[in-house]
Amino acid sequence: MADHTYDYDVLIIGSGPGGYVAAIRAAQLGLKTACAEGRETLGGTCLNVGCIPSKAMLHASEFFDAAANGTMAKMGVEVTPKLNLDAMHAQRIDAVTSLTGGIEFLFKKNKVDWKKGYATFQDAHTVKVGDETVTAKDIVIATGSSVTPLPGVEVDNDKGVVVDSTGALELAQVPKKMVVIGGGVIGLELGSVWRRLGAEVVCVEFLDEILPGLDGDIRKEARKIFKKQGIEFKLSSRVTGVTIKGKTATLTLEPSGGGEPETMEADCVLVSIGRRPNTEGLGLEAIGLETNKRGQIEIDHEFRTAVEGVWAIGDVVPGPMLAHKAEDEGIAVAENLAGQTGIVNHALIPNVVYTWPEIAGVGLTTEEAIEKMGGDKAKVKIGKFPMMANSRAKTNHEPDGLVKIIAEAESDRVLGVWAIASVAGTMIQQATQAMEFGATSEDIAYTCHAHPTHSEAIKEAAMAVQGKPIHI
């Protein structure tokens, strides 16, 4: 039951992966719970216009590409694909509708009240949601993030020429040429979709390599694979402006370090340079809560903000902007609110890029591991195993990629695992769990792996740390 002075024990602002999970867990623990959400559907960016719909398009486009590029023919399945983009969009929408409805069902099942509207703080225990004023003993900010704008470039998703990630999911036809501004996860995933469906794709990245934050070897290998697939890269380049004439965009580019500008034309430009926390309109000034230089809300280890009774999780706080990180934080903050001990190991948050093949990693990069060891490379051991030597990858005609394991030389404790493979996102979970329990490379090497599976590459990479892989 709620404290007699408040409407609810806890109010969650936002129903994304962090918010809706926090609400359900809080309700399970006996707290009277409400969740404020301004969208017409629950699930936040991830479910409505992010992780889920993009995976539906990625999966469908993989089938089309396998038929179009001859992969299926090599396996004796001869087909001539015909693209029905409307049907492809329809299956995407169906997946989203089903899952958003599922969360609404779970709210009803767990007696979570959905307050429809955007919430604004009146004080530390009071928010206004639409025309309704709601009070709660504790309030959790889980408002997520939105697309970072690029100065001088105006996004208009309705016109379909200059779009963000939301607009890129809704394109009514396959572009002849798409320029992706930003070589991060979202740009490469969505760029991959339209490349597979027939678009010429050019990726412009400010840095000298794609996929910042990932292991150096993995970044370079990934770019080689994408280039082989037909994606062109312009690294160390920045877009200084975009002009539109009719259905054609003209981009102005110049070297990141300065130099002569050049122009490039495209019929679709995807702006994908990152995301920023959603704090605008929350009324944080009403409770005296300031954000840091990155616009994030600072928290302690228990997810408390500087204001008593106000908590925060997910993309709006420091750390990787990942749905599963937000989900774990949602469970943890709910348990803290209920007087339990909620724990998230932020050192072991797996990262997955859902391209083909997938790219995944957990823990430290090689560069970070060496830095941790005081810059002494001899204190770090590395084992690698190529997917082309893996029997299941061979039978599936999936030769691209590798597994890389980084371990501390003295203790053999695994510091990081990185993989490029068709099912790297699933494979990385084994590594995450092993590292959670403090595994050594020897522990992984001498754990029996089913044959033939892609995961055997992890076993072989672990054996390679000791210099004794079997199949290379």
User: In angstroms, rounded to a whole number, what is the distance separating the alpha carbons of residues 62 and 74?
Assistant: 16
Q: 3-state SS string over 170-200?
A: CCCCCCCEEEEECCCHHHHHHHHHHHHCCCE
Phi, psi of 471 (to 5 degrees): -100, 15
Active-site residue, from 301, 346, 397, 451: 451
CB atoms within 10 A of CB 79: 10
3-class SS at 133?
A: strand
Which residue, among 30, 39, 22, has the nearest Cα to 115 in the 3D structure?
39
**451 labelled catalytic:** yes
Tokens 């719970």 — which residue?
33
- Strands (E) in 63-118, as ranges, are 113-116
Fill in the amino acid letter for 312: A
User: In angstroms, rounded to a whole number, what is the distance separating the alpha carbons of residues 157 and 154?
Assistant: 10
Which residue, among 26, 8, 210, has the nearest Cα to 119 in the 3D structure?
8
The answer to whether 178 touches 199, Cβ cutoff 8 Å, is yes
Count of residues in the chain: 472
Please list the active-site residues. 451
